[in-house]
Structure 1
Amino acid sequence: MANGSNARELIREIAEIAPEVQALSRQWTDLADERLGGRVIAVSDEGFGPAQRILEAQRVHRYWFGADGYRYVDGWETRRRRSAGSEWCEIRLGRPGRIRGIVIDTSFFTGNYPMAATVEARQDGSDDWATVLPQVALSGHAQRLDLVEDPATYSHVRLSIHPDGGLARLRVFGEVRIDLPEGEVDLAALENGGRAVGANDAHFAAPAQMISPEPILDWGKGWETRRRREPGHDWAVLVLARPGRITRVEVDTSFYNGNQPEAISLQAAREDVRDPALLLNQAMFWPQILPPQKIEGGAHKTITAEILDHSPVTHVRVNIHPDGGITRLRLFGRAE
């Protein structure tokens, strides 16, 4: 039953992301994100829902009713344990890094959530597990956030739930620690440590999606804003993986044809501001490094010659004129 039915009827009730979780996601990358390669490599039991679901980037749905009459949860759920012990799953992080915060989300799990949870971590090639989150009590239909003070770099985590039950999502927020290749590299890429700090509008899809590595297979996998009914334009602010000079911009509007922006422009700066709200405020004053460039729908555009000369930058504000959707944005350059 873990894989469910092919004929699911989705109950369209979606959990809201807690403000404190949103704030943490603007500061750090979810190292366990399956879009980055996060994978469950071992699990004790997944009788009612596969453990891999807790790494999905999408928000939590309530559940599905399958054509076979069963209900399927949007998360990992074990069978009812009839002996002493706990259930667990081991996860290979999508990117190694320093763990800064852990979110255990039991949205829509009410009478079937675990009583408590523990998280351990290890480095690649080691069999020594370090406890990064000692046993904490869980509540039903809640998002528990715990900060982690551990400077080590980890590649794997082991989540133990006591004694059994289910949860919807696990987020392992932290600082990506990888060696970038020599030469030109996508400085904004999620898999390299880039991240989205925020946007003025993300009605249809969040800006982090346009810097994700997953293949472009269908509509709705990029950043898309609502239809603007007033003067101005929409924008999003990105943090680069490393400081660098941007030498090539690639804009992809696959599946956005008729709802793509008219043009795109970039502002950028070298900033050491950590507060997301202040950073978004300051971004409106950053120098322009790319004047508005017309883009077409359902197309791929590469921009090089139009990029203005600039010093190494750490942050970029992406302006779309006036609104619309972008499937992918790549900001190539040489890291310092």
Structure 2
Amino acid sequence: MTKKIIFTNGLIDLAQPRLGSKVIFKTDDFFASANRIINPLPAVFKEGLFDKNGKWMDGWESRRKRTKGHDYIILRLGKPGSIKKVNVDTSHFNGNQPAMISIEGTSSSSNKISKLKWKPLLSKKKTKANCHHFFTINSKKEITHIKFNIFPDGGVARLRLFGSISKSNGLKNKKTNLASLLDGASVIACNNEHFGKAENILAPGKAKNMGDGWETRRRRGPGFDWLILNSLDGKEIDKIEISTHHFKGNFPSHCSLQATFIPKSKNFKSIVNSSVKWKYLLKNAKLSSNKLHIFKNNLMKKDKINFIKINIFPDGGISRFRIYGKNV
């Protein structure tokens, strides 16, 4: 096994807009829109760019507070889930970052601000200029809404809430895409994602461009690239879709799929190490440029699976992956 394994441990950013997450309230965003704080792209700085209120900043920035209290935003998660890690990113905010931040959460079917009852997830923490602040959340509770507090005011470029989507119970015994990000599937590890995140292949819809898929660097030595995803528990696999849309001169030559069932395991290193011995769902499948490939599965027809390994040879990019079977 390569030593350069990227372990995501099944965590994704629950604040990303493609899950349906959105800012539903803000106390103030005079200098920079609160909506920018969940932009999935890294924050940028545009030298010399000003709008009618002042310097344009890529993030959320409130005006200087001249009354009591502090500023905050409320974020509704598109998919409920548990939050494990947080990244509060103050990139490019230097002299206008908050002094401190804190995070509260709740689980509620209501979007009425007055009905949301908050519980602390992260106590007050000091923040620095132009810096990524990583924090661990010690809570297993399912969260639907987040209250992000800044003290007393200022700007934050990005807020990332890394966790796990609660897997859907409404799909039991139904034929479905077992690799849907929206239903709780996630990537746990990959060997490379130099040009595009592995998680992208589980996203809904057709990829917008090459950056909206998984793409590895050009391989200059022996071997191949791979990722491992934790799917919904499934069996009776009858169709597999692999899309190389937008990948025209950088699609893989071919691919293979392996799968297994591992009950309630969180030892991701052992899962990766054992993956070389998993059974094949698909072997040496030829891939073409900018195309949706559909495969009818003839292997592991009766086996139960919840982990899938995608091997691409020797490198390159794929934009979407779907595997249809019965959720059990």
Normalising by the residue count of structure 1, what TM-score does the alignment of the two structures yield?
0.85
Contact kept, 8 Å, 2:10 with 2:164, in 1: the verdict is no
Equivalent residue, structure 1, for 2:155: 166
Is 2:206–2:320's contact at 8 Å kept on the other side of the alignment? Answer: no
Residue 109 of structure 1 and its aligned partner are, at CA, apart by 2.1
Long gaps (5+) in structure 2: 1-5
Of stretches 84-93 and 135-144 in structure 1, the one that deviates more from structure 2 is 135-144
Distance 1:92 1:257, change over 3 A: same
Q: Are the equivalent residues in 2 in contact too, given 1:124–1:156 (CA < 8 A)?
A: no
Amino acid at match of 2:34: A
After TM superposition, list the pairs within 5 Å mapping 1:119-268 onto structure 2: 119-122=103-106, 123-125=108-110, 126-177=115-166, 178-182=168-172, 183-213=174-204, 215-240=206-231, 242-245=232-235, 246-268=237-259
8 A contact 1:199–1:237 mirrored in 2: yes
8 Å contact from structure 1 (residues 264, 292) kept in 2: yes
Q: Hey, what does 1:3 align to over in structure 2?
A: none
> Is the Cα contact below 8 Å between 2:50 and 2:56 reproduced in 1?
no
Alignment of 1:1-336 (within 5 A): 25-63=8-46, 65-66=48-49, 71-122=55-106, 123-125=108-110, 126-177=115-166, 178-182=168-172, 183-213=174-204, 215-240=206-231, 242-245=232-235, 246-271=237-262, 272-336=264-328
Query: How far apart are 1:61 and its partner, in Å?
Result: 2.9
Q: 1:289-315: per-residue Cα shift (whole Å, max 9, x none)?
A: 211211221111111244433522221
Tell me the alpha carbon deviations over residues 93-147 of structure 1, each in whole angstroms, 9 at most, x when there is no partner: 0211223333222223221111111212222225322222222222222322332
Instruction: Give the Cα–Cα distance (whole angstroms) in 2 for the partners of residues 235 and 89 of structure 1.
Output: 38
Superimposed CA distance per residue, residues 162-183 of structure 1 (whole angstroms, 9 cap, x where no aligned partner): 1011112212222322334352
Contact 2:171/2:327 (8 A) holds in 1: no
Count of residues paired in the alignment: 313
CA distance in 2, matches of 1:88, 1:64: 27
Shift of the 60–310 alpha-carbon distance from structure 1 to 2, 3 Å rule, reads farther
Q: For each residue in 1:7-53, what CA deviation from the matched residue of structure 2 results, as whole angstroms up to 9, or x when unmatched?
A: xxxxxxxxxxxxxxx86x43423222212111001111112222222
Change (3 A) 1:156 1:261: same
Distance in 2, matches of 1:184 and 1:66, equals: 51
CA distance in 2, matches of 1:306, 1:238: 21
Contact 2:281 2:297 in 1 (8 A): no
Distance 1:224 1:320 in 2: 10
8 Å CA contact retained: 1:124, 1:154: no
CA distance in structure 1 between the partners assigned to 2:97 and 2:241 by the alignment: 44
Letter in 2 for 1:98: S
Contact 1:32/1:95, CA 8 A, preserved across alignment? no
SS of the equivalent of 2:211 reads: coil
Q: Hey, what's the Cα distance between the residues in 2 that align with 1:191 and 1:163?
A: 35
The sequence identity of aligned pairs, in percent, is 31
Aligned-pair Cα RMSD in Å: 2.3
What is the rounded CA distance, in whole Å, between the counterparts of 2:169 and 2:197 in structure 1? 27
Deviation (angstroms), 1:67: 7.9
Question: Which segment is superposed worse, 254-263 or 145-154?
Answer: 145-154
Q: Distance in 1 between matches of 2:140 and 2:50?
A: 48
User: SS of the counterpart of 2:274?
Assistant: helix
8 Å Cα contact 1:29/1:193 also seen in 2: no
Partners of 2:37 and 2:157 within 8 A in 1 = yes
SS in structure 1 at match of 2:210? coil
